[in-house]
Amino acid sequence: MEFSIRFENAPGLPENKGPVTVGWFLNSQKGGVVYYPPERFRGAEKNREHAKSASRCPAVINMESRYFVFRAPFDLHIGFTRDKEGKPALRNLAGDMSGIRANKLGQVLHLVSEKEWRYPGVPTLQLSLPYVLIADEPVYVTQLAPFLDYQRDPWPGTIFGGRFPINTWPRPLMWAFEWHDTSKPLKINRGDPLFYVTFEAVSPDRSFTLVEAELTKELADYVDFVSGAVNFVNQTFSLFERAEEMRPETLLKPVKRKK
């Protein structure tokens, strides 16, 4: 007995075939030159001399090709402490040798209020980033730790990402870190993998192409329309239907640059 499964798009949407195009852009150009373009995951040089090597396994190749890497834009060498009143605080352990000025670091890196930590005694650290993802067909993004890259000095905690539809809810990505061992510093070098993203479309067999998107007026207006909702209401997923009603049909326009 044999079964076959056919995946179809939602009613009313065009039938899409081939790779899914996903766009990325920076919602702020200030200092944008320090931010690496996201790139498809490529492991180190692998053994392909043996027919049974995992490097030749179609399942491994297919999985790894679906991850895209976002790299750290600057060095971080941070310690956790508490002041005399017991209030949590961060210390820039690099001191005068830090590549990023203290006032600028404070603008993008901060501790979440202790009341909002998911686990008692485990601080949550957030790094604000200007990356935004967009697609013109139903696509979900999942953000996760860079588990395919070996860390000689493992981070003293874990990151937690999220999963949401980028065609309906294009919002800036954020790197969130839960500091389980606060006796150890958090050290990340510029260019180190910071996190991965992977995408899901209606049809699971389709691959993805990531391109730089032009921040058109229509796209900027729509991002403004949905941004910051988390500051006003809980359970923002309930707003997806309203956002989709207001969404222009086309938002993704690839940037044309000179080579």
Query: Which is nearest to 109 in space by CA: 126, 87, 88, 91?
Result: 126
pLDDT higher than threshold 60 for residue 51? no
Question: Residues 156-201: pLDDT tens digits?
Answer: 999 988 999 999 999 999 999 999 999 999 999 999 999 999 999 9
What does the DSSP assignment read for 60-116? Answer: HHHHHTT-EEEE-SS-EEEEEEE-TT--EEEEETTGGG-SS-HHHHHHHEEEPPGGG
Query: Which is nearest to 118 in space by CA: 169, 70, 157?
Result: 157
Q: Are 144 and 201 in contact (CB under 8 A)?
A: no
Query: Which is nearest to 21 in space by CA: 219, 224, 207?
Result: 207
Instruction: Tell me the two tokens of residue 153.
Output: 């000095």
pLDDT at residue 13 in the model? 46
Predicted TM-score of the model (pTM): 0.85
In eight-state DSSP terms, residue 177 is E
- Cα of 155 vs its chain's centroid, Å: 18
Query: Which is nearest to 134 in space by CA: 237, 29, 26, 13?
Result: 26
pLDDT at residue 172 in the model? 92
Question: Residues 54-108: pLDDT tens digits?
Answer: 666 778 888 888 999 999 999 999 999 999 998 999 998 887 667 777 777 888 8
**Mean pLDDT over residues 26-47, rounded?**
84
The whole-angstrom separation of Cα 98 and Cα 248 is: 44
pLDDT at residue 99 in the model? 73
Q: How many Cβ atoms sit within 10 Å of the Cβ of residue 6?
A: 5
